Each structure stands twice: as structure tokens, then as C-alpha cells.
Chains A and B, each alone.
Chain A
Amino acid sequence: MSTGLLFLSSLIFLVLVVCSVYTLSKDIDASPGLLLRKMLYRLAQLAGLLAALALAVYFLGFL
């Protein structure tokens, strides 16, 4: 497996693990629909944060 593909698939898998475990353990009595919405919301938040970090690292490369 190529390096980029392995890192990208690892990143996606680990982000899914973090979001699903965090949401399922925190909101214990929520309905499945609400759980899914919260999970997707946290997924978007984490993906945005990671994208911002990636951009920051990319531009730091020009310094």
C-alpha cells in the first residue's frame, strides 16, 4: 500500500472511531437519530480542525 493511501485511510478510520465512541459513550440515553446527528456534527468539527491544522502546517513550510 502506498504511503499516502495508508495515512489517509488511517486518518479517516481514526476520526470515525473517535467521533463514534465519544458520542455513544457521552449521550447514553439519546435516540439513534439524535446520536447520528451529534456524531456527524462532531465529525464535521474534527474534520474542520484537522483541515485547519493541515493548512497551517502547509503554510508554515514556506517560512
Chain B
Amino acid sequence: MKRGKSAFVPMLISWLIPGYGFMRNGHWKKGLYFFVILELTFLLGAALRGAILIPTFAFRDPTFNLVNILTFITQIFNGGLSVLSALPELFGQSVAILPYEEDYVWADLGNFFLLVSGGMSYFVLVRTWDHFYAEKKPAVERTEA
């Protein structure tokens, strides 16, 4: 298993492509399942006009909303598609690749799909680190009192 610094690039790709870490380390069926199901969930959300909306981080701003910030942080764990989805927020409607319509009737439900996809991508990412890259601590021996 590769540990430490060498894990940076595979973890970065695992963020961009959910399940990559599992595929790279021999669990390609599971990795492929994670990729298909998490991207499908995200794309279903995008079809319902859900999109990554960049929140206001300024604490004193009247539009500041902690729930929006937490939602944003969770959603961006599905790296590749979240970057694509956030393009109109960053550069305007002309660069929109995924559907983008903030006021659409199902947009909130679509955002929830994005939230679940991002949350489960985070979980897969953490498990990739735990299973394949984290330092394994030696078992502590119990001493009799």
C-alpha cells in the first residue's frame, strides 16, 4: 500500500472521480459501482435543475446562511461534477454545461440529490483513505494492573 505523500494524487483523483481509489487498489467492481451510482444521483439532481450555489461567507452580510454553507461544503465532495455544476455561478450562464435554473419548481429536490451524492462521495473518499492510504497504528498491548 502506498502511504503518506504518494497518496495525494490518487486522493485528488478520487475526489474528482468518486470510486477511483477503490478501482486503483484492486476493488474495481466496487469502485465502478460507486462511480456509476454517485454520478447518476448527481446527474438526476442536475436534471431536476439542482445546482451548486456558492454561498455568502461574509458573516455580517444579510444573506449569510450557515445551512447554505454546510450544504455547499457537502455538495462539493463530488468533485468533478460539482466543478461543472458551479461553472455558471463562477463565470456566468454562457458556460453552463449542466442545466441551470435556480427558480425551477424542482430545484430544491434536485439540490437534495446533489447533497446526497456529495455526502456519500465524502464517505467513499474517507473510506479510500482509511482502507488504502492511512498509517496503520500498531495494536496496543494490554497490560495487567
Binding site for B on A (CB under 8 A): 6-7, 10, 13-14, 17-18, 20-22, 24-26, 28
The CA-CA distance from A22 to B126 in the complex, in Å, is 11
In the bound complex, do residue B113 and residue A28 qualify as a contact, i.e. CB atoms below 8 Å apart? no
In the bound complex, residues from chain A placing their C-beta under 8 Å from that of B109 are 6-7, 10
In the bound complex, do residue B120 and residue A24 qualify as a contact, i.e. CB atoms below 8 Å apart? no
Closest Cβ neighbor of A20 among chain B residues: B37
Q: How many cross-chain pairs have Cβ atoms below 8 Å apart between A and B?
A: 44
In the bound complex, do residue A14 and residue B113 qualify as a contact, i.e. CB atoms below 8 Å apart? yes
Closest Cβ neighbor of A7 among chain B residues: B109
The CA-CA distance from A18 to B127 in the complex, in Å, is 14
In the bound complex, do residue B113 and residue A24 qualify as a contact, i.e. CB atoms below 8 Å apart? no
Closest Cβ neighbor of A22 among chain B residues: B123
**Scoring B residues 110 to 145 as 1 if CB is less than 8 Å from chain A, else 0, what string do you get?**
001100110010011001000100000000000000
Contact among A10, A20, A25, A26 with B113 in the assembled complex (CB-CB below 8 Å): A10
Contact among B27, B112, B116, B123 with A28 in the assembled complex (CB-CB below 8 Å): B27
In the bound complex, do residue B34 and residue A25 qualify as a contact, i.e. CB atoms below 8 Å apart? yes
B41 contacts the other chain (Cβ, under 8 Å)?
yes
B51 contacts the other chain (Cβ, under 8 Å)?
no
B38 contacts the other chain (Cβ, under 8 Å)?
yes
The CA-CA distance from A1 to B106 in the complex, in Å, is 11
In the bound complex, residues from chain A placing their C-beta under 8 Å from that of B113 are 10, 14
